[in-house]
Structure 1
Amino acid sequence: MTPAPTPAPAPSADRGAAAPGTAGGVAGASTGARRQARAVRLGPRSLTALALVSAVGVAGFGWPFLAPPASTLNAHAQDAPWLFAGLLVLLVGVVAATISESGLGPKAVAMLGVLAAAGAALRPIGAGTAGLEPMFFLMVLSGRVLGPGFGFVLGSVTMFASALLTGGVGPWLPFQMLSMGWFTMGAGLLPGPDGLRGRAELWLLAAYGFLAAFAYGTLMNMAGWPFMSAMASNISFDPDASVPANLARFLAYCLATSLGWDLGRALLTVVLALTLGPPVLRALRRATRRAAFETPVTFTGHP
């Protein structure tokens, strides 16, 4: 007598169901593994805090240029530390809002600490050597992989930690934190975060790092240029001069004081992005997958 064939098991509609013998399954795990997760999700409060600190930062950079020529604000460099202190408080508020709203877990906070420590340790390597600062390379790649939200927090925290390490705490520190936060956040806003890979991605990051390195130096020049001594009359800010005249003065100031530093920083970022970029990007993406940042996990019972 021929035995009746054993019916094949019906396919499960829930592809996240667990294998036999397990208590439950994780739905969407394969999709989450393929997707590039973002460590920090920007919710309404985080976006509001970022917009506020960015607006105050722009005002901090720009108020000396908008003040009336007869105003004593243009002549009192000692007023700047009060503004810098306010910016520092707002930056702390951004970090607190982002962490509280996104629900960062221990792995995400640990990754933030590790990357910030690595960036802070890289900064003294090139400090004082023609602007060769390898930390900018790490910030570009980190912002690319982990997204704009994590990028802003990471850039600001890294600059703060490096200032503590190098003794660079001063009224310029909040501007450095803002500029580095924008620098790293910009890398997270580059196109093709999920699909662009290989040499094309490396050249994109290298080009961004080159341009953003000059942008960082320009922002830091703007923070101190209006408060230059009047003795440097040829390149200092003149509230009575026209906008084109002051732009020419500012360009001369940048060429005379920071071109070498900015160029060295930009070229080193390009070289490191093209040579060390592939292994560092793989390591960062592997770490985000293991941490499963923002991957939706649902447990379903075995039928």
Structure 2
Amino acid sequence: MSRGNDRQARAIRLGPRSVAALVLVSAVGVVAFGWPFLAPPGSRLTAHAQDAPWLFAGLLVLLVGVVAATISESGLGPKAVAMLGVLAATGAALRPIGAGTAGLEPMFFLMVLSGRVLGPGFGFVLGSVTMFASALLTGGVGPWMPFQMLAMGWFTMGAGLLPGPDRLRGRAELVMLAGYGFLAAFAYGTVMNMAGWPFMGGLASGIAFAADAPVTANLARFVAYCLATSMGWDLGRAVVTVVLTLVLGPAVLRALRRATRRAAFETAVTFEASQG
């Protein structure tokens, strides 16, 4: 097979405006997740610790919508929309399978493989839409949903940014994707902990966010919170992602790449003039 045929198709080619929108929403997302460590003790933001997550949640909904619209304008054609719908529906259906069972969430491996094949732009939209659809499916709509959408968008986009999309194949690619999935599963759990941690208030004084405490003390509390509440869940998610990637990855990657070749996302649609 020629090198030209090995070039991996992209459902979305990001333009300068789309990249700028992604950078903006990611910067706001970093603040939304990490504000307890960015705001100095006694600031007006920390004084409203219980309100801040709600404010950021509303802002993130708007920003994720703006990014999705911007990326769509950059070339999300009908073929890409159809694939987005199929993959988002599949991911949303996979998520409830292991819900409530030690982090057994098979949707994560599908997000890794889809982001790898279809690229970072499509990956961000897919991750966000999948999490939104799964929240509606499972009734998990709340102030945490925009944070989940952004975190899953990052998770899936990151897979599309991994090196060697046109050259790396076989076992080496699977090992790289499994390693990424393992680390990203923990990263996802950690950033989602940051979104929910300020809600605790005084329910668990030893590990709860303290608005008047210095950053170092709150960081120690946050680490203790992660170890006490989510380490087992994150480990389960990471292990399941690795196992499914190594076992089902070859077949799923082939299917996704075959679908992208047949869809010919980057081929312009043309119409032949009728002969009258």
Q: TM-score under structure 1 normalisation?
A: 0.84
Q: Are the equivalent residues in 2 in contact too, given 1:65–1:239 (CA < 8 A)? A: no
The residue aligned with 2:85 is 113
2:227 to 247, 255, 274: 255
Q: Are the equivalent residues in 1 in contact too, given 2:49–2:211 (CA < 8 A)? A: no
Q: Are the equivalent residues in 2 in contact too, given 1:126–1:133 (CA < 8 A)? A: yes
**Alignment partners' CA distance in 1, 2:38 and 2:211:** 9
1:270 is paired with a residue of what secondary structure? Answer: helix
The residue aligned with 1:229 is 201
- Give the CA deviation at 1:31: 6.9
**Alignment partners' CA distance in 2, 1:209 and 1:76:** 32
The residue aligned with 2:115 is 143
The residue aligned with 2:128 is 156
Q: Are the equivalent residues in 2 in contact too, given 1:65–1:226 (CA < 8 A)? A: no
- Give the CA deviation at 1:69: 2.5
**Are the structure 2 counterparts of residues 64 and 175 from structure 1 closer, same or farther at C-alpha, using a change threshold of 3 Å?**
same
Q: Are the equivalent residues in 1 in contact too, given 2:114–2:256 (CA < 8 A)? A: yes
Give 5+ residue unaligned stretches, structure 2.
Answer: 272-276
**Alignment partners' CA distance in 1, 2:108 and 2:270:** 38
**Who wins on radius of gyration, i.e. which is larger?**
1
- Give the CA deviation at 1:272: 0.1
- Give the CA deviation at 1:234: 1.3
**Alignment partners' CA distance in 1, 2:175 and 2:203:** 43
Q: 55-64 or 251-260: which moved more?
A: 55-64
Give 5+ residue unaligned stretches, structure 1.
Answer: 1-29
The residue aligned with 1:93 is 66
Structure 1 counterpart of 2:58, which letter? A
The residue aligned with 2:274 is none
Q: Are the equivalent residues in 1 in contact too, given 2:99–2:105 (CA < 8 A)? A: yes
**Alignment partners' CA distance in 2, 1:38 and 1:50:** 17
Structure 2 counterpart of 1:43, which letter? G
Counterparts of residues 180-259 of structure 1 (less than 5 Å): 180-259=152-231
The residue aligned with 2:55 is 82
Q: Are the equivalent residues in 1 in contact too, given 2:182–2:241 (CA < 8 A)? A: yes
- Give the CA deviation at 1:55: 1.1
2:51 is paired with a residue of what secondary structure? Answer: helix
1:77 is paired with a residue of what secondary structure? Answer: coil
Number of residue equivalences: 269
The residue aligned with 1:69 is 41
* Sequence identity percentage: 77
Task: Give the alignment's Cα RMSD to 1 decimal.
Answer: 1.9
Q: 287-296 or 273-282: which moved more?
A: 287-296
Structure 2 counterpart of 1:101, which letter? S
Counterparts of residues 2-81 of structure 1 (less than 5 Å): 33-71=5-43, 73-74=45-46, 75-81=48-54
What do residues 68-124 of structure 1 show as CA deviations (whole Å, max 9, x unaligned)? 42345334413422321111111111111111122x221111000000000000001
What do residues 113-141 of structure 1 show as CA deviations (whole Å, max 9, x unaligned)? 00000000000101111110000000000
Q: 53-62 or 275-284: which moved more?
A: 53-62
- Higher helix content, 1 or 2: 2
**Alignment partners' CA distance in 1, 2:49 and 2:216:** 24
Q: Are the equivalent residues in 2 in contact too, given 1:37–1:295 (CA < 8 A)? A: no
**Alignment partners' CA distance in 2, 1:66 and 1:153:** 28
Q: Are the equivalent residues in 2 in contact too, given 1:33–1:289 (CA < 8 A)? A: no
